[in-house]
Structure 1
Amino acid sequence: MSNTTIPAGKRHAIADSRSTSVATLSVWIFGTADAAALALRSCESAQRQGRLRISDSAVVQWPPDHGRPSGYQCGTADGSAELSGAFWGLVFGAVLLAPLAGLSGPIWPPDGLDRIGLPGPLLEKLQLLIRPGVSALFVLSDADLARIRLAAMRADRAGRPPHCVAARLSREQSRLLRRAFGTGERIEADADATGTGGEAELKSLPLH
């Protein structure tokens, strides 16, 4: 599996403020509207077996006959969540709803998002990849991407790897992210819901 670095004017790196391990926000895009939810279940199973560590997650689904996508926060397999729902609402708005509202140009996305690990190149890449007929699994984790990829591939009966775009956050980005959106509260994750100071390193993993 080869990695392709996405040219990113402003690049940032992500680290978990509570440990020395590096955290990554990865987004796994599937070719069907229901595959991301299935991949979530596979990742949750890996979590329960101790084979995968995930801090938080979310799912986006865009059925081909729907005018806009829907998304929901999933947290972890034990019902905890590293970040509040406000963060995922911000991500969904920046990636999915802003383009539908016609927001574009030099003032979008706001520069402030770059400070919490959401650089413009990442958002622009996701805007191109997430379209009608696909789904996406967002994962915040310090686990190796290959482990998440292996769990995610089990959601596809043909074993086709999903497309992945990932951003590693710097220690400062991680600190600011948790300061603004961190939570110790538990959430009820419903995988069946349809949903009514450094440099950020972006990587794109090809479909094959």
Structure 2
Amino acid sequence: MATLTVLKFDDSDGATQALEKLEELQKQSLIKVVDAATVSWPQGAKKPKTKQALDMTTIGALDGTFWGLLFGMIFFMPIMGALIGAAAGAIGGAFTDFGIDDRFINDVKGKVTEGTSALFLMSTDAVEDRVTEAFSSMNVEVLATNLSVEAEQKLKSAFQH
């Protein structure tokens, strides 16, 4: 079963540093990173910068469409407003099918704000105590939702390239 985890940092560089740490942990076989993306929202910027972290040729990586839709739902919908209201409802319903509900989206939206960053991570096989220990020196807030096997398969079928 995969876990979609959002690690929120109190500065705009924390997500990049965390991704580097995760790459080290993966080399030690302490976690398997299926896919990842970062959001950086520098102080004074009107909107965040987003970036898919993995090379799209990586086996198991999700299509960039997944991250684009998820980030759109979380960060850019207020900007787009009523112009795409019906489409937003359909997209939101699709994410619910994958185990990503309104509570999760609203929680992330409320916490990842100007001056912060976040790492969105799809992972499996984490040695939780070792991964937690590796991040103990970082000021990080963890928001996570476990995906059922069925939701993970739906997600991969819909968005894997």
**Shorter-chain TM-score: which interval?**
0.7 to 0.9
- Unmatched 5+ residue regions in structure 1? 1-21, 154-158, 184-208
Q: List 4+ stretches of structure 1 deviating above 3 A.
A: 78-81, 105-109, 144-153
CA distance in 2, matches of 1:80, 1:72: 18
CA distance in 2, matches of 1:79, 1:65: 34
Choose the corresponding residue for 1:135, options 117, 120, 130: 117
The answer for the alignment partner of 1:36 in structure 2 is: 15
1:16-165 aligned at under 5 Å gives the runs 22-75=1-54, 79-102=58-81, 108=89, 110-142=92-124, 143-153=126-136, 159-165=137-143
Q: Which amino acid aligns with 1:137?
A: L
The answer to whether 1:166 aligns with 2:144 is: yes
CA distance in 2, matches of 1:42, 1:68: 26
Q: Give how far 1:53 is off.
A: 1.4
Q: Give how far 1:161 is off.
A: 3.7
CA distance in 1, matches of 2:138, 2:23: 19
- Unmatched 5+ residue regions in structure 2? none
Deviations 1:48-100 (A, max 9, x none): 22222111111100001110001111127x95552111111111101111123
RMSD: 2.5
**Relative contact order, CA 8 A, sep 6+: which one is greater?**
2
Deviations 1:111-169 (A, max 9, x none): 2210022211100000100100000011111225544443344xxxxx24411110111
Contact 2:25–2:131 (8 Å) recurs in 1:
no
Q: TM-score, normalised by structure 2?
A: 0.85
Q: Which amino acid aligns with 2:18?
A: A
Q: TM-score, normalised by structure 1?
A: 0.67
Q: Identity of aligned pairs, percent? A: 30
Contact 2:30–2:131 (8 Å) recurs in 1:
no
1:172-183 aligned at under 5 Å gives the runs 172-183=150-161
